[in-house]
Structure 1
Amino acid sequence: MSAFDSNPFANPVDVNPFQDASVAQATSRANENLGDYNPFSGNISGKTIPASTASSQPAVLQTSVEQTPRATAAAAQANLIKQQEELERKAAELERRERELENRSTGRPNNWPPLPNFFPMKPCFYQDFEEEIPEDYRRICRRMYYLWMFHSATLFLNVLACLAYFTVDSNYGVDFGLSILWFVLFTPVAFVCWYRPVYKAFRSDSSFSFFFFFFVFFFQVAVYIIQTVGIPHWGNSGWITSITMINKNLAVAVVMMVVAGFFTVNAILAVILLKMVHSKYRNTGASFSKAQQEFSQGVLTNRTVQSAAASAASSAAQGAFGRSQGN
C-alpha cells in the first residue's frame, strides 16, 4: 500500500548520472587529457602521430548540391560576356572597314576617262575592276567594258563608211550626218545608260541597277539588229546598204560590208553577254521587290528630289493661300 500512498504530483528525486563513481572517474581522465591538448600543435598529449599511422586515403571534397547551379550560372555568364566582347570586336572591325572605304571613296580622284593633265576637262568616273568588282563578276564586267569599246569603234567606222558612201552618191548625205549624230550621241549614252549600271550592279549587288541595265540593254540589242540590217537613209552602214552599193562602187561596198560585219558581231556579243549577266543576276539574290525598295530609298534620300518636292509643296501652298484670300 506504500506505493499507493506516494504522491504522484511530488517532484521526482533528482538523479545525477555523473554522481556514479565510474562516470566520475572517466570524466576526470578526459579533463586531464583535454588540458594537455593544443589544437595548433601536431600532437596530442605531447606525442607526435607518425605519418604512416594516418589514413592513406586522400581527402575528398564533397561539393554541395547548392553550389552546382551557381557554378553553371557563373560559367554561362562568363561565356555570354566573352561572346559579347567578340561581337563588339567584330562590330568595331566592320565599322573601321566601312570608314576606310568611305574615306577611300571620298578621297580618291576620278580616273575615267584617262585624260592628260593639261586637258581642260577632268575625268568624270572612278573605275577599278580589281578593287571594286568581286572576283566572281570581274570577268563578265570586263567583257561588258570591252563590248562598249567595240561599240564605240563600230560607230566610228560607221561614220567613215557613210562618208565613203556620201562621196560616191551625194544623195546619201543624210546617212553621213546621222552617222555622226549616232557616234556623238550613242557613245556616251551607252556608257552611262547600260555599262555603268551593270558596273554598279556588280560592285554593290544592286537590284535596281540590274533591272535598269536589263531595261536599257534590251533596246540596245534591238538597235544593234537595226544597224546590222542597214535600212537606207537611217545613217547605218548595214547589209542592205552595203549590198546595194556593190553595183556602184565595189571598194566602198567592201568597206560598208566590214562595218555591217562589225554591227553583226555587236548584236551577237550583246545577246551572249545579256544571257551571262542574267545568269549572274540570278545567283546574286536580287529581286524586283529589292529594286523597288532601293529606288524608293534613293528617291527619298536624294537631296535634289527633297528640295524639288519642298519647293513644289511651298508653291502649291502659297497658290492655295492666294486663292483663298482672293475669294
Structure 2
Amino acid sequence: MAVNGGGNPFEGDPGNPFQDPAIIQHRPASEYATLDVYNPFENPGQRPPPPYEPRPSATPTQPALPSQPPKKTSPTEPRNYGSYGTQESAAAATAELLKRQEELNRKAEELDRRERELQNAAISGGARPNNWPPLPSFFPVQPCFYQDISVEIPIESQKTVTTMYYLWMASVGTLFLNFLASLAWFCVNSGGGSGFGLSILWALIFTPCSFLCWYRPMYKAFRSDSSFNFFVFFFIFFAQDVVYVLQSIGIPGWGFSGWIVSLSALNTSTAVAVLMMLVATLFTAVAVLGVVMLKRIHSLYRRTGASFQKAQEEFAAGVFSNQTVRTAAANAATGAASNAFRAP
C-alpha cells in the first residue's frame, strides 16, 4: 500500500472513517469554531470563538426528569387517606350518628321506664294514687288527680304539655300579683275598692276553673289522643285567651291591673303605678304565649287526622258507657213503659 506524503492515507477509500456523516457535521466550519482552531498568538486582537450551540432538531425532545424513589412512611407516621374536607365531613357525620344514637338510647330508656310503670300499675290493680295538687299528708284535703307527664304523655308531646302547665302556673301567679296590686291601689285610692274585691273573686274562680276546664282536657287529649277533649280545650282556651287580653288591657273597675289602670295610677302614686305596670306586662306575656300555644296545639291536632265526626263518636261512646247514664236511661224507659200500661 502506497503512502502519500502529507496526504490522507484513507482518501478515496470507501471505508474511510473520516467520511462518516456523524463526523463530517462536527468538522470546524464558518458557523462555529472550537478551541482546536483558535490560536491566541496568531492574531492578538482575535476574540475567542463563540460557545458551541447545537443545531435545533425537528422534533425537540423533553429532558427526562430524574425519577425519585417512593417515599416510605414510618410505622408511627399517620397515613393521609383523603383531603382535609373529606376528613372533616366524615368527623361531622360520625358526631351526628353518635348524637342520634344517644337520643335513641334515651328514648329507649324512657319507654322502658314507662313500661315498668304501667306494669306496676297493672299489678296493683290499675289504681294509681293521686299526686296532684302536691299537698302534705297532714293537710285535710288530699290530692284529687294523678298527673305524670313523663309517664302518661308521649315523648313527642311532653314539651307542649309541660309548656301549657307552666302557662297555667304563670297565669295563677299573675292573678296573685294582680290581687296585691289592686290592694295597693285601694290603699292609695279609696275608689279602687270594687277593683280590689273583683281581683279576689277572679283569683278564686280562675285558679281552679282554668285547671279543670282547659288544662285537664288538653292533658287527657294528648294522653289518649282524644278528639273530644281537643275540641273542649279549643273552645274553652279560646275564651281564656280573650280573658287574658282583657286582663292586659285593664279596664277600670274590672279588677285587672292592666295598662289603662296602671297608666292612670301615675298621677296618684308612682310606686303603685310601677307595680301595676309589672302586672300588666305579665298579663300581656301570658296572653301572647296563650295565642302562640293555641296555634301550635291546633297544628299538632291537624296532623293527627282527628275530626269533628270522631269527636262525636267518642262523646257518644263515653256517654253510653257511663254506668250512671245507663241507669238513668233504663229507669226512664221503665217508667215510661209502666205509665203506658197503666193508661186506660
Aligned twin of 2:325: 305
Contact 2:181 2:275 in 1 (8 A): yes
Among residues 164, 170, 174, which one is paired with 2:184 in the alignment?
Answer: 164
Among residues 132, 143, 165, which one is paired with 2:163 in the alignment?
Answer: 143
Amino acid at match of 2:248: T
Deviation at 1:231, TM superposition (A): 0.8
Among residues 258, 278, 287, which one is paired with 1:267 in the alignment?
Answer: 287
Aligned twin of 2:247: 227
2:230 counterpart of 1:210: yes
Distance 1:151 1:246 in 2: 25
Deviation at 1:307, TM superposition (A): 2.5
Aligned twin of 1:9: none
Contact 2:121 2:127 in 1 (8 A): no
Q: Gaps (5+ residues) in structure 2?
A: 1-116
Q: How big is each residue's C-alpha offset from its partner over 1:86-129, in whole Å with a ceiling of 9 and x where there is no partner?
A: xxxxxxxxxxx988665567332011111111111111111111
Amino acid at match of 1:125: F
Q: How big is each residue's C-alpha offset from its partner over 1:195-226, in whole Å with a ceiling of 9 and x where there is no partner?
A: 11111111111111111100100000000011
Aligned twin of 2:296: 276
Deviation at 1:278, TM superposition (A): 1.0
Distance 1:321 1:288 in 2: 41
| Distance 1:105-1:205 versus aligned 2 partners, 3 A rule | farther
Distance 2:120 2:136 in 1: 29
| Distance 1:320-1:179 versus aligned 2 partners, 3 A rule | farther
| Distance 1:165-1:319 versus aligned 2 partners, 3 A rule | farther
2:310 counterpart of 1:290: yes
Deviation at 1:146, TM superposition (A): 0.3
Secondary structure of 2:267's counterpart equals coil
| Distance 1:210-1:241 versus aligned 2 partners, 3 A rule | same
Amino acid at match of 1:184: L
Contact 2:262 2:274 in 1 (8 A): yes
Distance 1:105 1:269 in 2: 40
Among residues 158, 173, 186, which one is paired with 1:153 in the alignment?
Answer: 173
Deviation at 1:277, TM superposition (A): 0.7
Deviation at 1:134, TM superposition (A): 0.6
Distance 1:321 1:228 in 2: 63
Equivalenced residue count is 229
Higher helix share: 1
Amino acid at match of 1:204: S
Aligned twin of 2:209: 189
Query: What is the aligned-residue RMSD (CA, Å)?
Result: 2.1
Amino acid at match of 1:239: W
Amino acid at match of 2:199: S
| TM-score relative to the length of structure 1 | 0.66
Distance 2:297 2:249 in 1: 26
Contact 2:121 2:128 in 1 (8 A): no
The sequence identity of aligned pairs, in percent, is 57
Structure 1 residues 1-327: aligned runs within 5 Å: 102-103=122-123, 106-317=126-337, 324=343
Deviation at 1:272, TM superposition (A): 0.7
